[in-house]
Chain A
């Protein structure tokens, strides 16, 4: 690896992480305004045009607030728990391809930070680590609400991780590869959703539970648990949990896109748009490559918006309903999907 390759990699990491981190304040604004419109209110509309600068004000508040460490917490684990939450959420994106190759100055750049050939396993492995942030935060807070929230959350995440992992076996059988980049290439003709609709549904529902969003946000059910595992956190430490949640949403939306909705493959209609703009004549032109990045971004944004839409539409599940949905519906459905996919592949219908 020479110096230029190294620079390209560094730029890719900076661009992706920059986009991810900058998506957080935008999503916060979208969430607050969106929830307001769904509930027939106005939402934040004073700071900047249409309230667009509200996240900036929020961040300034977070940074300048006093950062208290209660005296009854664990001195070492309490401050580092937010990192356990934030780091796994943000490094998953390294394996997700956000575009095809970009040919520029005679160099072919793969638009993906790391083309790991065990991509799906990497995603699952790193995704399963997010639970430590919640567990450690709950335990180190030394507070009964926090620990109850942490225990609830860990049992919820363990349950839904099984469904999430099992739902990915069907697509794996169909695509026959772990590499996310190859999976996107294989979806050139038809997107994964047409081959694995049930797997998509299970993955989508489990994704809500994995990112601790409504309707599965029992770990922080305000009515019973104050704020769950992050009751004792304030200031920037709380903001890190907040960022982790939003980055998790974006990552799961991106995974949805990559596995089931063609990744960076163009959305039908974009081809004619490219024709009008005159950038589709060169198969590897920069314009087409950027159009593919735009397709990926659009799809990911769509699923991210669905996450927010669902949050303000559905009420929270009761705890036993949540467990029943996970163990008695989603996991058997995932196993049925695996069996059906295997049979269909064997008789050659897929």
Chain B
């Protein structure tokens, strides 16, 4: 148990710090790499929750495919540090701070009100591959197929947009 608690704290602190790094750093490549670290930490959290399948998929899809394309695009566009982001123009500072505070409070209240239960599987091995497959292809077949159809449409759309230009 002690090991799991230590792992939980390592992973959660890493994911939060890395996520902050993503939005605070000015170099887009380093931000992307910090996002990668954050994704890894979330995969570690999945493992402490006894869901290794989700952890593997998290790394396979997000770290192995999505982030590679992000970094690829950033490199192709050759983005430099963006000096404009913190530029003092447009909205006055006080208003921006007030807006940020309002969003923060608005997000905090529902989080604090929600009574989170322990996110452990109801029975041992409930997050196993075969169990997930049964859920996806039996109970939730229609949403699953609709999602895949949506992805297909997005893919075709991407190809059409790329062909035009």
Contact = CB atoms under 8 A, between A and B. Distances in A.
A62 B69 CA distance: 34
Interface residues of A, number: 27
A77 B29 CA distance: 10
A116 B72 contact: no
Contact of A128 (B65, B76, B129): B65
B49 interface: no
Interface stretch (A129-137, A253-261, A267-275, A286-294): A129-137
A52 interface: no
13 contacts: A76-B30, A117-B128, A121-B60, A124-B56, A128-B60, A129-B59, A129-B63, A136-B33, A139-B29, A150-B75, A151-B76, A154-B72, A178-B129
Contacts of A155: 72
Given A77-B30, A122-B56, A138-B75, 4 more contacts: A118-B53, A129-B59, A132-B71, A135-B75
A125 B59 contact: yes
Interface residues of B, number: 21
Interface in A25-76: 76
Contacts of B57: 121, 125
A27 B52 CA distance: 35
A34 B65 CA distance: 36
Contacts of A122: 56
A135 B72 CA distance: 8
A131 B66 CA distance: 12
The 7 closest A-B pairs by CB, nearest first: A128-B64, A121-B56, A125-B59, A125-B60, A125-B56, A118-B56, A118-B52
Contacts of A135: 68, 71-72, 75
Contacts of A147: 75
Nearest to A165: B60
Contacts of A77: 29-30, 33
Contacts of B59: 125-126, 128-129
A158 interface: yes
Nearest to A119: B56
A205 to B, nearest CB: 20
Interface string A137-150: 01100000001001
Interface in B42-86: 52-53, 56-57, 59-60, 63-65, 68-69, 71-72, 75-76
B75 A125 contact: no
B129 A118 contact: yes
Contacts of A138: 75
A138 B128 CA distance: 39
Interface in A132-190: 132, 135-136, 138-139, 147, 150-151, 154-155, 158, 161, 178
A281 B53 CA distance: 40
A262 B99 CA distance: 62
A71 to B, nearest CB: 18
Contacts of A118: 52-53, 56, 129
